[in-house]
Amino acid sequence: MDADVPMPADYSIDWYYAFGGPLGSCLFKSCHEDFLVDELLPFEPEGEGEHLFLLIEKKGENTDWVAGLLARHAGVRRQSVSYAGRKDRHGITRQWFCVSLPGLPDPDWTGLESDTIRIIRQARHRKKLKTGALKANDFCITLRNIDADPALVNARLDQISREGVPNYFGEQRFGHHGRNVEKAIDMMAGKFRVQRNKRSVYLSAARSWLFNRVLSEKVREGVWNKFLSGDALGFPDSNSLIFETPDDAMMRRLDNCELSPTSPLWGRGALKVTDQALAFEESVTSGYSQLCDGLERVGLLQERRVNRLVPQQFTWLWESSTEGSSLVLRFRLSKGCFATSVLRELFECYEEIHCRENNHVDQESGH
């Protein structure tokens, strides 16, 4: 199919809204300064070891491209440079990179920094930085040219701060027009082979799409944030699950957003739920046996992800200018969560980058 043709309806990336849909429109990422992200590790570098951790501020640069630049500058293989998660190219992000230097001194980074790359901090550590080794991400997002009733927006913001939003994987996970899902299906059917990194991207897209599909149906039925008989409850900031029937104390924690119902990240093995939750999830996934079977064949195991995303330390501030109203949002999200899943419950966001562009390829964001 043509790359500009949207995904077929069966694999749509349009998901149901929790609160009735966007309240209006806004301009998103009008410049890199409108999207600021700070990555938080769950530990502090120890100050010794064979791995050099670098906290780098990048502006309008692709994460993987920066990793390659570090490898060339340090004179090591690209595989010797790692990072915890990709971050949006269109923005200013501060994230950690790791250069493995067994028996080698710290490189001279003179000449590496530029208008778009700045080393903020460096420290040694005894263990390599692995993908997913994140605690959270802090966001500061400026939305401009807002066309919506401020009173309704404030009410919606307050609702989101109390109740959270559906924990959808963001559209960037699925590629242009959602094409990564179709590519995953063809790849799992043996129609073509890809490099290891691309294989991971396509499998992740397929698994994420199935999760979103189940969650979207739960949103449509109004049960995404409610306990269904036989469900597994999860904690917002960890992979721990509770399989027992909740007592009154647990139900209060569910109501207070300290716990959340979950939906499947597909893989081998039986769904980790029973009764009403099992019947609901099987009714949705039974129509996508091609995806389910493919994910099982490649060896992924059944896991769960919480349905609800509650922004932490959530604040907002309205600003006015001759160009119109703008809204500055600040919040913290646990690893693996997408800021766009918060924004979609507020506005239709239109991106328009006016900052300096380059030829680096965009990558998936936020983990």
Q: Which residues are tagged catalytic?
A: 88
The C-alpha atoms of residue 203 and residue 183 are separated, in whole angstroms, by: 9
- Contact between residue 36 and residue 91 where contact means Cβ atoms under 8 Å apart: yes
The C-alpha atoms of residue 153 and residue 160 are separated, in whole angstroms, by: 10
Single-letter residue type at 246: P
Beta strands (DSSP E) in the chain are: 25-28, 35-40, 51-59, 81-83, 92-100, 117-125, 136-147, 165-166, 233-234, 241-242, 260-265, 303-306, 308-309, 312-321, 324-334, 348-351
Among candidates 167, 274, 177, which has minimal Cα distance to 214? 167
The C-alpha atoms of residue 89 and residue 356 are separated, in whole angstroms, by: 12
Helix 179-188 to helix 289-297 angle (10° resolution) is 60
Q: Running DSSP on this structure, what letter comes out for residue 310?
A: -
Query: Considering all CA atoms of the chain, what is the largest pairwise distance in Å, rounded to the nearest integer?
Result: 61
- Contact between residue 321 and residue 334 where contact means Cβ atoms under 8 Å apart: no
C-beta neighbour count of 12 within 10 angstroms: 14
As to burial, measured by CB atoms within 10 angstroms (0-12 exposed, 13-18 middle, 19+ buried), residue 267 is: middle
